[in-house]
Amino acid sequence: MSSATPVPAVASRRSRLVIGVLASCGIAVSLMQTLVVPLLPEFPRLLDTSTSNAGWLVTAPLVAGAVCAPVLGRLGDMYGKRWMLLISLATMAVGSAIGAVSDDFAAVLVGRVLQGAAVGVVPLGISIMRDELPEDRVGSGVALMSATLGIGGAVGLPVTGVVAENLNWHWLFVGAAVFAIVEIVLILRVVPESPLRAGGRFDFIGAVGLSAALTCLLLAISKGNEWGWTSGVILGLLVAATALFLVWGFYELRVSAPLVDLRVSARPAVLLTNIASVLVGIAMFAGFLVGSQIMQAPEDTGYGFGMSLVVTGLVLLPIGAAMGVFSPVSARISRRRGPRTTLILGGTVLMLGNLAGSFLHSPLPLVVFNLTVGAIGGALSYGALPTLIMQAVPQTETAAANSLNSLARSIGTSTCSAIVVALTTGSVVQIAGVNYPSVFAYSWVFLVAGAAALLAALIAAATPRTRRYSPVTAKVATTLGTSR
């Protein structure tokens, strides 16, 4: 009887500390992702490079994170999630230090790639919570960890603006390095290592194959608008990605210890949740991308408010606050009604926020309200997605499964970026000789995001209910894996 009852690995006070430390790690990574975005127009001058090259400071860490997340997830299941979490943060610290002391574009780009490798911190943190927290604290912890992606992004905008306007841009990288080092110390002192291990051998060939396929896919998505969707390079990347994914999938189904268990990933509950994750990524990221653009656009555009970067960040702080407040709400709904219901509700709220944004462009409080409603829907959805995944996979595969789900959301946000660029450059108005997206372009962005949110809610409704894997099952799996 006792073996079937989960024994909390940490006491209540320790649980709060673990949740707080892991959530702050998620915020650190989210801040790192948005670090350079407000400064992109300035980097060609600061680093003596072209505008096209400067764009790689955003694209490169995105690709690095997508490639590293599933690899670190599998290694975490095999050798320890805390150990991989520490390696991720150490890589972020090194990359930040390189950026802090460099004025050369190539060196800063290397630093951004190393920073991007830390994206796996969020799925690893979620998996640690499942292993180490009492069952009644897992839901709220996971929801908060998922919401840190939005919280950090909302906080990062005004922080970057203040630093950029008052200090040298290198201080942004100094701050990121210090933040990462502090998190490493806190993890060593507070977060325990899970004894659960998946066993088996690391699938190096599978890791290389998945990395190559993801690199081709994300490069095509990220650079499609710039290089031309019908250009030979983009078409070649898409064809290569398709071929590599097919070969990789064929190989993974035949290896004894795959990097990604495709048989588990193909289960309806897991597959549909990952598809919904892509759609939620599209629907959620639209508000983050265009919200700041709308605030900073000139009033003569008919929709803009002519704000500075710092003021824009302050005005949009309710978005981050909403995600922080509603992440525990997501956990409570999931606990009482199930994560499937939470995802349906979150997708619906996210759809309403985007649809309102499509038609209501003033006054300012209403625009902020619409964006905040979308953030609430995103918080509800982001909190439910990892819970749905964890209910559908064995505990010894949690990190790998969560990393794959995180990858699905990354593909969604990358796709959203491409959609936004395509729509906002396709319809423009000229103010004082400068082209700005038209109000119709932004209306279409929100309409597409609303449609993605609706599809996510419908897919959630079609997702079958799953029973949670028991601790006994996990222990048996661990024993079998260790004895291989």
Domain containing residue 449: CATH number:
1.20.1250.20
314-318 average pLDDT score? 85
Q: Domain total for the chain?
A: 2
Instruction: For residue 41, report the phi and psi dihedrals to the nearest 5 degrees.
Output: -65, -20
Q: What is the structure's pLDDT at 478? A: 36
* Whether 104 and 197 share a structural domain: yes
pLDDT for 236 beyond 90: yes
**What 3-state class would DSSP assign to 61?**
helix
The pLDDT of residue 467: 55
Lowest mean pLDDT among 196-200, 345-349, 370-374: 196-200
**Distance of alpha carbon 453 from alpha carbon 356, whole angstroms:** 13
Of the residues 236, 254, 272, the one at which a domain ends: 254
Whether residue 216 is found in the same domain as residue 199: no
Mean pLDDT, residues 77-90: 91
Domain range for 115: 2-203+255-482
Burial per residue of 412-445, b for 16 or more beta-carbon CB atoms within 10 angstroms, e otherwise? bbbbbbbbbbbbbeeeebeeeeeebbbbebbbbb
Residues 187 and 88 both lie in one domain: yes
- Do residue 250 and residue 346 come from a single domain? no
Q: Which stretch, 77-81, 88-92, 228-232, 380-384, has highest mean pLDDT?
A: 88-92
| Residue 185 pLDDT class (50, 70, 90 cuts) | very high
**β-strands 434-437, 428-431 pairing:** antiparallel
- Do 197 and 209 lie in one domain? The reply is no
**pLDDT at position 10 over 50:** no
User: 290 and 330 share a domain?
Assistant: yes
